[in-house]
Amino acid sequence: MLNYELRDATRELTIVRSLDNYTPPFKLIGGYKLIDNGIEPEATVQIEANGRLIHEASTGNGPVDALARVLKKALTPLFPAIEKIKLIDYRANILEAKRGTATDVEVTIIFTDGKKVWKVNSLSENINAASFRVLLDGFEYYILLNLAGD
């Protein structure tokens, strides 16, 4: 049996964000833009960190892949360790299906850098919005781990 610790990054981020002295390592400016024509989705973001503003765009094999790629592309110049991150599992669970297309979706992604493994989850009526929040938190968590030397 393999031995690894699956860290609950959502819980850890909730705790650290509640502290008075918490400063996020980066800030998303104006949300994200996602264009999905069903063939080649494209995502754009603007990130601010360390006094720099970075605007990036990327395509992907689906909307979530495009969002992951654009975040990684924007954050890597500021936080080079991000390059190591891989998404190893993606789950979307529908809650209360009786609400139809307005139902909440819980998205969970498991990340790794080859040594550590962590999961993040988010809830929204919009699967892309939930996925994007999970990606933001997954990258933020890893940056915080690296800044802390963990």
Q: What is the pLDDT of residues 94-105, one digit of tens each?
A: 877 676 667 889
What residue ranges in 3-76 does DSSP mark as E strands?
6-8, 27-35, 42-49, 52-59
Is the Cβ–Cβ distance between 90 and 64 less than 8 Å? Answer: yes
Q: What is the CATH number of domain 6-144?
A: 3.30.160.270
Quick one: 115 exposed, middle or buried, by C-beta within 10 A (0-12, 13-18, 19+)?
exposed
* 149 contact partners, CB below 8 Å, separation of at least 6: none
DSSP helix, strand, coil percent of the chain (3-state; round to 5): 35, 35, 25
What per-residue confidence (pLDDT) applies to 1?
58
Q: What is the pLDDT of residues 42-66, one digit of tens each?
A: 999 999 999 999 999 999 999 999 9
